Amino acid sequence: MSESVAISPGASREVIYKEIAPQIAALVHGETDVIANLANVAAVLKEAFGFFWVGFYLAKGGELVLGPFQGPLACTRIKFTEGVCGKAFSDKKTIIVPDVDAFPGHIACSSASRSEIVVPILGSCGKAIGVLDVDSDRLDDFDEVDRRGLQEIVTMIERVMPSHTNLATTQ
Ligand code: SME
């Protein structure tokens, strides 16, 4: 397994998503440990794009609990009904927030966060089991390229999620 992320210097985000997709597939292939996989995916996304914050929240005991992440410290627990993460989780739909101040109920873990994208992670039964959350310190930093790229990465994660984990799936 390669120990560094190979990306073309100065490439567009679209190109970088294409370059990292096979590298992430190789990283998670054959590894069934959820935390190990999520930790490496967060590291790859941080290294490839330099996002302000990138990480996972996982459904445990009826709420979303902070999982592996890269970036400043973050809120530990989020209710299924709260924030961008809770909404993406409950609706099982990706949400792009161009301006976090304009999103009702946005949870500001960091005042430096200006825009955000959250992708739900679905278990094999179709229930939401967590989210991938990416924050930027720039307004309007995410678009359809990010939606496609991050959803593709989440699909890879979903494929290698073991059918039995210690995650409490309540959605
Ligand atoms: N802003 C998120 C909370 C998580 S942090 O951004 C890391 C939300 O509104 O759900």
Structural domain spans, the chain: 13-169
Question: What spacing in Å lies between the alpha carbon of 79 and ligand 1's midpoint?
Answer: 11
* Best residue among 70, 99, 103, 109 to mutate for probing ligand 1, ranked by most atoms within 8 Å of CB: 109
Q: Model confidence over 52-87: pLDDT tens digits?
A: 999 999 999 999 999 999 999 999 999 999 999 999
Q: Which residue ranges have their beta carbon within 6 Å of ligand 1?
A: 53, 74-75, 78, 83-85, 106-107, 109, 113, 116, 133, 135
Q: Model confidence over 22-60: pLDDT tens digits?
A: 999 999 988 889 999 999 999 999 999 999 999 999 999
Question: What spacing in Å lies between the alpha carbon of 44 and ligand 1's midpoint?
Answer: 20
In 3-state terms, what secondary structure has residue 143?
coil
Q: What is the dihedral of CA 32, 45, 25, 142, to 10 degrees?
A: 120
Whole-model pTM: value is 0.93
Nearest-CA residue for ligand 1 atom 3 is: 107
Q: How far is the C-alpha of 65 from the C-alpha of 12, rounded, in Å?
A: 32
Q: Model confidence over 89-134: pLDDT tens digits?
A: 999 999 999 999 999 999 998 999 999 999 999 998 899 999 999 9
Nearest-CA residue for ligand 1 atom 2 is: 107
Question: What spacing in Å lies between the alpha carbon of 1 and ligand 1's midpoint?
Answer: 32
Q: In three state form, how does the secondary structure of 71-133 look? A: CCCCCCEEECCCHHHHHHHHHCCCEEECCHHHCCCCCCCCCCCCEEEEEEEECCCCCEEEEEE
Please state which CATH number belongs to domain 13-169. 3.30.450.40
Q: How far is the C-alpha of 24 from the C-alpha of 48, rounded, in Å?
A: 11
